[in-house]
Amino acid sequence: MVPTGPRGAFLTFEGIDGSGKSTQARRLAEELRAAGRDVVLTREPGGSPGAEEIRNLLLNGDPDRWSAETELLMFTAARRDHVERTIQPALEAGKVVICDRFVDSTRVYQGITRGALRGTVDALHAMMIGIEADLTFLIDMDPEAALARATTRPDAEERFESFGLELQATLREGFLDLARRARRFRVIDGARPAEEIGADVTRIAHSFLETPA
Ligand code: ADP
Ligand code: TYD
106 in contact with ligand 2, CB cutoff 6 A: yes
> Residue 137's pLDDT is what?
99
Q: Which residue has the higher pLDDT, 164 or 51?
A: 51
Q: For 76-101, what is the mean pLDDT?
A: 98
Arithmetic mean of pLDDT over the chain = 91
Q: For 97-114, what is the mean pLDDT?
A: 94
42 in contact with ligand 2, CB cutoff 6 A: no
H or E element that contains 90: helix 88-92
Q: Tell the residue nearest (CA) to atom 7 of ligand 2.
A: 17
23-50 per-position pLDDT tens digit: 999 999 999 999 999 999 999 999 999 9
Q: How many angstroms separate the CA atoms of 153 and 172, rounded?
A: 20
The CA-based angle 23-25-27, given to 5 degrees, is 70
β-strands 96-100, 135-140 pairing = unpaired
From ligand 1's centre to the CA of 197, what distance in Å? 11
Give the bridge partners for 138, in sequence order: 14, 187
Could you state, in order of their start, the residue ranges of all structural domains in the chain?
9-209
> Residue 43's pLDDT is what?
98
SS3 content of the chain, % helix, strand, coil (to 5): 60, 15, 30
* Per-residue DSSP letter, 119: H
* Per-residue DSSP letter, 142: -
Of 9-13, 86-90, 114-118, the poorest mean pLDDT is in 114-118
* Residues 175 and 188: beta-carbon distance below 8 Å: no
* Residues 120 and 75: beta-carbon distance below 8 Å: no
Tell me yes or no: is domain 9-209 CATH 3.40.50.300. Answer: yes
Buried b (16+ CB within 10 A) or exposed e, 89-101: ebbeeebbbbbbb
Q: What is the pTM of this model?
A: 0.94
> Residue 19's pLDDT is what?
95
Confidence of residue 113 (pLDDT cuts 50, 70, 90): confident
Q: Which among 60, 99, 101 is the best mutation to test ligand 2's pocket, defined by most ligand atoms within 8 Å of the CB?
A: 101
Q: How many angstroms separate the CA atoms of 212 and 205, rounded?
A: 10
Q: Which of 44, 43, 48 is nearest to 58 (CA)?
A: 44
- Percent above pLDDT 90 for the chain: 79
Beta strands in the chain, from DSSP E residues, in sequence order: 9-14, 39-43, 96-100, 135-140, 185-189
Number of separate helices (H) and strands (E) present in the chain: 10, 5
Q: How many CB atoms lie within 10 A of CB 157?
A: 14
